[in-house]
Amino acid sequence: MAGEKNKEKVILDSAVALFTSKGFQSTRMEDVAKNAGISKGLTYFYYKNKEDLFMALTKKAFDQFKDEFRDVYRSKGKTGLEMLSDLLIRITAFAKKNQVYYDSILNFLDLVKKYNNPETRALINPLILESSHFQKLLEIHHDPAKIGIMIVSQGQKDGSIRPELQPEITFYTVWSMIIGYEKMLGPIEYEGKDMKVHPENWEPGFLRLMNEMLKGTIQATKPVTVQGSLF
């Protein structure tokens, strides 16, 4: 079993390297096998086709992405709002360090959007739909967000995040902002004569705006217990 897992890891690592350097479209399964030092037949034994391999890569990406959320949530002595700020920094660092993984996550989110609509589902490559890794991803892709929602709820308990906000809507809104933040890093880093936003003030400015939108009172307000009457 350990040997099989090791071979799967070698194949995945090879795929990550080639998808990074050549791109998904230009990479063939035989390229992955050769780069991994494994026979083409053995590569197909573990992964049915390139789409199945990419879904396995995406599953691994979500597992690592979830770890980033978990590490932030387990941090000691921080408010929920501080955790969300840390999450922005962690996700941005994750994207820079593991661009193929991060891109695969965003790609999967687009796939789910198509999958939810019977008309657009037909546009998805059937090899992707047949992948067992794709089916598993449908089950677990909400896991990072579940932790994010707990972070928001923690912030409401400690008073750092406004109590009237709905945790689920709040987190998904913040996550969409973080995705947009990471996507805009490129345009902002590309200098323009009329550009008034610079890379060095983009992150602190974004964090300040997010904090102002979400911040609550200094101390959580405890609910008042009302003594009722039976009559």
Domains and CATH numbers, the chain: 1-47 (1.10.10.60), 50-214 (1.10.357.10)
Backbone torsion region of residue 161, taken as left when φ is above 0, otherwise alpha when ψ lies between -120 and 50, otherwise beta: beta
pTM: 0.85
Q: How far apart are CA 26 and CA 32, in angstroms?
A: 11
Which of 80-84, 166-170, 184-188, 207-211 shows the lowest per-residue confidence on average (mean pLDDT)? 184-188
- Is 80 exceeded by the pLDDT of residue 221? no
Greater confidence (125 vs 1) lies with 125
What the block records as the tokens of 86 is 């840390």
Q: How far apart are CA 46 and CA 59, in angstroms?
A: 15
What the block records as the tokens of 149 is 């929602």
| 3-state DSSP percent of the chain in helix, strand and coil, to 5 | 70, 0, 30
pLDDT in tens, 108-121: 999 999 999 999 99
